[in-house]
C-alpha cells in the first residue's frame, strides 16, 4: 500500500511536466500559437484549438469590422445606456457625447475602452446582439473554427469563447488593413475635447512589447519587455481569462503573429519572447518567389495591350522546414470583372500556394504596366498598320513619287507661263 501511495505521489508531482513534455519552449500559458503572418502557416502550437476566454483580444475583431463598415471621420452619437454599467477600462463616455469613429477606434485598441466597444457596436449594427452576429459571421469567413462571440469587448460570459488558432487567423487578416495596423502600432493617442468634455483624453497603450524597458528573464537572460520589430496588436485580461496577448512582429523581412491565452502577468511577455525568438533563431525561411517576378500574361479585351503582364506584389517565403519548395503548387486566380483602365501596380488577383492539399499562403498579383481602354475597331486598324510595316513603306514611296510629280508639273507649268508671257511681249512689240 505504501508503494502505491509513493507512486501516486510521484505521478502527481510530475503531472505538469508530463502534460507539457512535448512543449519545447516550456511556455507558462495554457494555450499558444505562432504563425507566419503572410501565409498563415502554423509554426508552433500548444493546444491551439482549446476553447478559451479571450478577454479584450476580442476587440481585434470589433475593430476590423468597424473599419470595414464605417468611415474614420464618421460621427458617433453616444446614447443614454452605453456609458452606464460598463465594467473595466473605459474613457468615461457621456450620454449625448459625439466622437469620431477614429477616436473611438483608438480608445478601443490603445486604451482598451469597453464603453467605446459598445458605442461602436451600436453605431454599426444598432445593438450589441446584432453586432455579435456580424462578428461571428466575419470570424467564420476568416477561418475561425471554434469561436462564439457574444459582445464587442470580451467582458466575461461563459459562452463567449475562442481559440488561439482562431485569434491568430483574425489577427492575420486585421494586420493586412493599413488603418488597423497604424492604430495598434501606436503607444499613445489624444482625443480632443468634445461637446461633453472640456479637456482632452490622453490614451496610453497597454501593450508593453511596444515600449517598456522593464526587464524580464527569458532563457536565463535579462532583456527588456519591448521586442524589436513588434508592431501591435492587443492585450487582454479578466479574472476568468487571465492574461491574454496577441502580438505581431515584422523584422528582417519576416512577419509572425503569436497568440497567448490564459497566462499570468509574469509569464505573458516571457512566452511571447520565446515564441518570436524561436521563429527568428530556428526557422530558416526560404524565398520561394520574388517581388516583380513574372507570372503570366492574361488576355484582356479592348485594352491598349492584348495582355495583362502579371507579376508578384511581394516576396513569398516558405519557413516550414517540412515542406520543400519543389512540393509547393502555385495557382493563379485573377479577380473577376476587371475593368479598364488598369494602373501599373494595381492588384488584379493573387497566387495561392498549396502543399499537401492545403493552401499555405498567397501573394497578391499586380499589373506590370498601365493598360487603358481602346476602341476595338481603332485598335485593330492601328495594330494592322503597325504589324504591316511594309504597307507603310510602299505608301511612303507612293506619296514621295506623287509629291515629286506634283512639284515637276508645277515647275513645267511655271516655265510654260513664263515662255508664253515672253512670246506675248515679243508679238506686242512687233505690232507697234
Q: Judge residue 286's burial from the number of C-beta atoms within 10 Å of its C-beta, 0-12 exposed, 13-18 middle, 19 or more buried.
A: middle
At residue 307, the 3 state secondary structure works out as strand
Output Rg (C-alpha) for the chain, integer angstroms: 35
pLDDT in tens, 410-425: 888 887 778 777 777 7
Cell numbers describing residue 422: 515672253
Candidates 345, 251, 338; CA nearest to 299 is 338
For residue 376, count other CB atoms closer than 10 A to its CB.
Answer: 11
**Phi, psi torsion values for 348, nearest 5 degrees:** -120, 0
Q: Is 112 a catalytic residue?
A: yes
Q: Is 358 a catalytic residue?
A: no
Q: Which class is domain 26-282?
A: alpha beta
Among the residue ranges 317-331, 336-350, 417-431, the one predicted with the least confidence is 417-431
Q: Containing H/E element for 122?
A: helix 114-125
Reply yes or no on whether the pLDDT at 372 is more than 50: yes
- pTM of the entire predicted model: 0.70
pLDDT of amino acid 19 = 35
Among the residue ranges 4-18, 248-262, 320-334, 383-397, the one predicted with the least confidence is 4-18
Do 26-282 and 288-367 agree at the fold level?
no
pLDDT of amino acid 4 = 41
Q: Which entry of 70, 100, 112, 367 is annotated as an active-site residue?
A: 112
pLDDT in tens, 107-130: 999 999 999 999 999 999 999 999
Candidates 70, 166, 218, 420; CA nearest to 428 is 420
Mean pLDDT of 236-257: 95
pLDDT of amino acid 61 = 99
Q: What is the DSSP letter of 109?
A: I
Among the residue ranges 60-69, 261-270, 295-304, 353-362, the one predicted with the least confidence is 353-362
Q: What is the DSSP letter of 52?
A: B
Q: Where are the domains of the chain?
A: 26-282, 288-367
Q: Is 212 a catalytic residue?
A: no
Q: Between the CA of residue 224 and those of 187, 252, 373, what are the distances in Å?
A: 16, 20, 56
User: Per-residue DSSP letters for 190-218?
Assistant: EEPP-SS-SSPEEEE-S-GGGT---EEEE
Instruction: Spell out where 264-380 has E strands.
Output: 286-289, 294-299, 307-312, 316-318, 329-334, 347-355, 358-367
Cell numbers describing residue 245: 496577448
288-367 architecture in CATH? Sandwich (2.60)
Contact 234, 59 (CB under 8 A): yes
- The number of helices, as runs of H, and strands, as runs of E, in the chain is 10, 18
pLDDT of amino acid 22 = 58
Mean pLDDT of 99-110: 98
Q: Which entry of 46, 56, 70, 255 is annotated as an active-site residue?
A: 56
pLDDT of amino acid 405 = 84
Reply yes or no on whether the pLDDT at 18 is more than 80: no
Amino acid at each position: 500500500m505504501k508503494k502505491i501511495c509513493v507512486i501516486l505521489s510521484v505521478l502527481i508531482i510530475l503531472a505538469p511536466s508530463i502534460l507539457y513534455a512535448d512543449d519545447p519552449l516550456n511556455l507558462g500559458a495554457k494555450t499558444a500559437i505562432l504563425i507566419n503572418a503572410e501565409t498563415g502557416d502554423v509554426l508552433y502550437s500548444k493546444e491551439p484549438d482549446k476553447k478559451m476566454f479571450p478577454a479584450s483580444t476580442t476587440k481585434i475583431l470589433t475593430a476590423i469590422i468597424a473599419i470595414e463598415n464605417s468611415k474614420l471621420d464618421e460621427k458617433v452619437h453616444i446614447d443614454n445606456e452605453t456609458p452606464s454599467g460598463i465594467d473595466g477600462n473605459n474613457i468615461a463616455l457621456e450620454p449625448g457625447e459625439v466622437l469620431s469613429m477614429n477616436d473611438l477606434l483608438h480608445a478601443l485598441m490603445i486604451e482598451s475602452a469597453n464603453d467605446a466597444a459598445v458605442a461602436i457596436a451600436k453605431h454599426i449594427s444598432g445593438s450589441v446582439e446584432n453586432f455579435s452576429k456580424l462578428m461571428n459571421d466575419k470570424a467564420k469567413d476568416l477561418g475561425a473554427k471554434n469561436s462564439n462571440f457574444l459582445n464587442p469587448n470580451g467582458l466575461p460570459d461563459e459562452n463567449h469563447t475562442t481559440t488561439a488558432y482562431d485569434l491568430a487567423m483574425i489577427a492575420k487578416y486585421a494586420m493586412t488593413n493599413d488603418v488597423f495596423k497604424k492604430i495598434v502600432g501606436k503607444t499613445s493617442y489624444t482625443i480632443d475635447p468634445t461637446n461633453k468634455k472640456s479637456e482632452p483624453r490622453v490614451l496610453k497603450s497597454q501593450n508593453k512589447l511596444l515600449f517598456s524597458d522593464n526587464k524580464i528573464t527569458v532563457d536565463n537572460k535579462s532583456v527588456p519587455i519591448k521586442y524589436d520589430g513588434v508592431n501591435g496588436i492587443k492585450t487582454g485580461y479578466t479574472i476568468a481569462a487571465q492574461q491574454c496577448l496577441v502580438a505581431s512582429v515584422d523584422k528582417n523581412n519576416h512577419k509572425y503573429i503569436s497568440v497567448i491565452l490564459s497566462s499570468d502577468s509574469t509569464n505573458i511577455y516571457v512566452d511571447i519572447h520565446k515564441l518570436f525568438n524561436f521563429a527568428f533563431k530556428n526557422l530558416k525561411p526560404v524565398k520561394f518567389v520574388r517581388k516583380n517576378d513574372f507570372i503570366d500574361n492574361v488576355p484582356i479585351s479592348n485594352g491598349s495591350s492584348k495582355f495583362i503582364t502579371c507579376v508578384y506584389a511581394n516576396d513569398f517565403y516558405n519557413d516550414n522546414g517540412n515542406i520543400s519548395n519543389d512540393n509547393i503548387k502555385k495557382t493563379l486566380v485573377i479577380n473577376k470583372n476587371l475593368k479598364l483602365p488598369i494602373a501599373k501596380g494595381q492588384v488584379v488577383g493573387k497566387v495561392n500556394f498549396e502543399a499537401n492539399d492545403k493552401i499555405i499562403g498567397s501573394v497578391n498579383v499586380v499589373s506590370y504596366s498601365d493598360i487603358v481602354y481602346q476602341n476595338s475597331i481603332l485598335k485593330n486598324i492601328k495594330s494592322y498598320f503597325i504589324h504591316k510595316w511594309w504597307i507603310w513603306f510602299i505608301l511612303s514611296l507612293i506619296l514621295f513619287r506623287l509629291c515629286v510629280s506634283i512639284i515637276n508639273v508645277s515647275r513645267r507649268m511655271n516655265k510654260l507661263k513664263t515662255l508664253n508671257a515672253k512670246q506675248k511681249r515679243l508679238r506686242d512689240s512687233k505690232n507697234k
